[in-house]
């Protein structure tokens, strides 16, 4: 098989890249190790920046988000038993949209099917070859038969555990990582959200977050030990712990119910540099991970795809290598800003094992400054709604 761009991974970043390349008339094939149902079954965050929403519209996959997404003009931060609202719209003129990543994936899958794009699911033993030269290849096995895809470029959109980054010689890549000493215990329920906007909670018992997927489906999180297991968390224990961290108004208005799903997510910050190796490009979680506190994971992947799709379109339509030569530098400049914001939000809101009384006082002083200073609140709002590409 021959194509112009082989895309590894059929998550949101790979599917978005495929659709944007199709818009530019660039032939591409997506290889995915899992089934389509498995990909759709992965539950992820759903806070969408305007830049991401615009990219989905450009890819022809933004209509349902526009109709059904919940526009949030702000968010609340709770500490010392009181809530304080950060008004994104007033401070920046922008807002975010809450729309599940699963739904984004579904919309992109439907869009790819409508355009006739080729996606190969259950592609086993994918391997990348010769991307340091002019004729890269991707090999895989499907239904017991070996296949090879010859291409001009390879886009590694296969996540943190994927083959793309692992295919790069260790001498050519440098990684930066921080693993946090806690996780998020998450519960999904068919209950109305406790608030129409997200509530970020700093509490002596640990961080908590009140979020939602729709007006009738809520997503809640509480900070837990890094080695904890979902089996240790009955629904009742979760609701009791969340109530203990909520303000009084939140406790009074919280609607509880049976869980649909419970998961524990570890938190880490991770960046791999560079993001280009000859004719192989890394994008999304293959190149970087952020703790979910700043709602940047999906949006950061989308910004990578913005830079990469523009670079490849420039290569094919203008016969210029400037975009692909500058891809890693441009992408990483935004990556590190998002890493900084997510690291700052995580440090501000969570209880750390070694914080101590001094550290707790510093967090409270920072929070008080944040909600009393327009400049500080604007800095948070600018980062939360998304820095410009």
Question: Where are the chain's structural domains?
Answer: 5-50+101-177+269-346
Q: What residues contact 227, with CB distance under 8 A and at least 6 apart?
A: none
pTM of the model: 0.95
Residues assigned a catalytic role: 72, 200, 292, 296, 384
Alpha-carbon span 298 to 292, nearest angstrom: 10
What is the rounded average pLDDT for all residues in the chain?
A: 97
Contact 64, 53 (CB under 8 A): no
Provide long-range contacts, Cβ within 8 A and 24+ apart, for 53-60.
53/97, 55/16, 55/20, 55/302, 55/305, 55/306, 56/16, 56/104, 56/107, 56/108, 56/302, 58/20, 58/23, 59/16, 59/19, 59/20, 59/23, 59/108, 59/111, 60/19, 60/23, 60/111, 60/114, 60/115
Alpha-carbon span 221 to 238, nearest angstrom: 9
Alpha helices in 69-176 (DSSP H): 88-92, 101-115, 163-166
For tokens 């995580």, the residue is 346
Q: What pLDDT shows up at residue 45?
A: 67
Q: What is the pLDDT of residues 169-219, one digit of tens each?
A: 999 999 999 999 999 999 999 999 999 999 999 999 999 999 999 999 999
Contact 218, 212 (CB under 8 A): yes
Question: For the residues 53-65, what does the mean pLDDT come to?
Answer: 97
Q: What is the pLDDT of residues 313-342, one digit of tens each?
A: 999 999 999 999 999 999 999 999 999 999
Contact 312, 303 (CB under 8 A): no
pLDDT at 44 over 80: no
Alpha-carbon span 45 to 33, nearest angstrom: 22
Alpha-carbon span 153 to 6, nearest angstrom: 6
Question: For the residues 131-139, what does the mean pLDDT come to?
Answer: 97
Q: What is the pLDDT of residues 301-317, one digit of tens each?
A: 999 999 999 999 999 99
Residue 274: pLDDT band (50, 70, 90) is very high
Contact 281, 5 (CB under 8 A): no
15: nearest Cα among 77, 97, 103: 103
Residue 162: pLDDT band (50, 70, 90) is very high
Least confident span in 40-44, 55-59, 127-131, 234-238: 40-44
Q: What pLDDT shows up at residue 308?
A: 98
pLDDT at 42 over 80: no
Alpha-carbon span 256 to 235, nearest angstrom: 9
Contact 181, 260 (CB under 8 A): no
Assign a CATH topology to domain 5-50+101-177+269-346: FAD/NAD(P)-binding domain (3.50.50)
pLDDT at 43 over 70: no
Residue 41: pLDDT band (50, 70, 90) is confident
Q: What pLDDT shows up at residue 46?
A: 86
Beta-carbon count within 10 A of 237 CB: 12
């Amino acid at each position: 098989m021959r194509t112009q761009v082989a895309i590894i991974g059929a998550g949101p970043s790979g599917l978005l890249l495929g659709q944007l390349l199709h818009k530019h008339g660039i032939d591409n094939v997506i290889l995915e190790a899992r089934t389509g149902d498995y990909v759709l079954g992965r539950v992820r965050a759903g806070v969408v920046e305007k830049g991401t929403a615009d990219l989905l519209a450009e890819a022809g996959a933004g209509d349902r988000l526009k109709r059904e997404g919940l526009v949030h003009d702000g968010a609340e931060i709770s500490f010392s038993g009181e809530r304080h609202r950060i008004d994104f719209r007033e401070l920046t003129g922008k807002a975010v949209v809450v729309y599940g990543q699963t739904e984004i994936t579904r919309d992109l899958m439907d869009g790819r099917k409508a355009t006739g794009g080729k996606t190969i699911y259950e592609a086993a033993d994918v391997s990348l070859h010769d991307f340091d030269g002019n004729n890269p290849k991707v090999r895989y096995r499907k239904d017991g038969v070996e296949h090879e895809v010859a291409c001009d470029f390879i886009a590694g959109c296969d996540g943190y555990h994927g083959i793309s980054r692992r295919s790069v010689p260790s001498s050519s890549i440098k990684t930066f990582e921080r693993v946090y000493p806690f996780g998020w215990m998450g519960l999904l329920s068919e209950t109305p959200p406790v608030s129409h906007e997200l509530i970020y909670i700093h509490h002596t018992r640990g961080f908590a977050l009140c979020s939602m997927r729709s007006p009738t489906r809520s997503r809640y999180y509480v900070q837990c030990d890094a080695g904890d297991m979902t089996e240790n968390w009955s629904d009742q224990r979760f609701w009791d712990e969340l109530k203990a961290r909520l303000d009084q108004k939140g406790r009074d208005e919280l609607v509880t119910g049976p869980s649909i799903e419970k998961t524990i997510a570890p938190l880490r910050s991770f960046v791999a540099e560079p993001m280009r190796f000859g004719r192989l490009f890394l994008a999304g979680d293959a190149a970087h991970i952020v703790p979910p506190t700043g709602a940047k994971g999906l949006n950061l992947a989308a910004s990578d795809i913005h830079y990469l799709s523009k670079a490849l379109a420039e290569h094919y339509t203008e016969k210029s290598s400037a975009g692909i030569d500058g891809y890693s530098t441009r992408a990483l400049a935004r990556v590190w800003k998002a890493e900084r914001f997510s690291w700052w939000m995580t440090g501000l809101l969570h209880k750390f094992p070694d914080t101590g009384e001094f550290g707790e006082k510093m967090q409270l002083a920072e929070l008080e400054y944040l909600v009393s200073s327009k400049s500080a609140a604007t800095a948070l709002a600018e980062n939360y709604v998304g820095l410009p590409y």
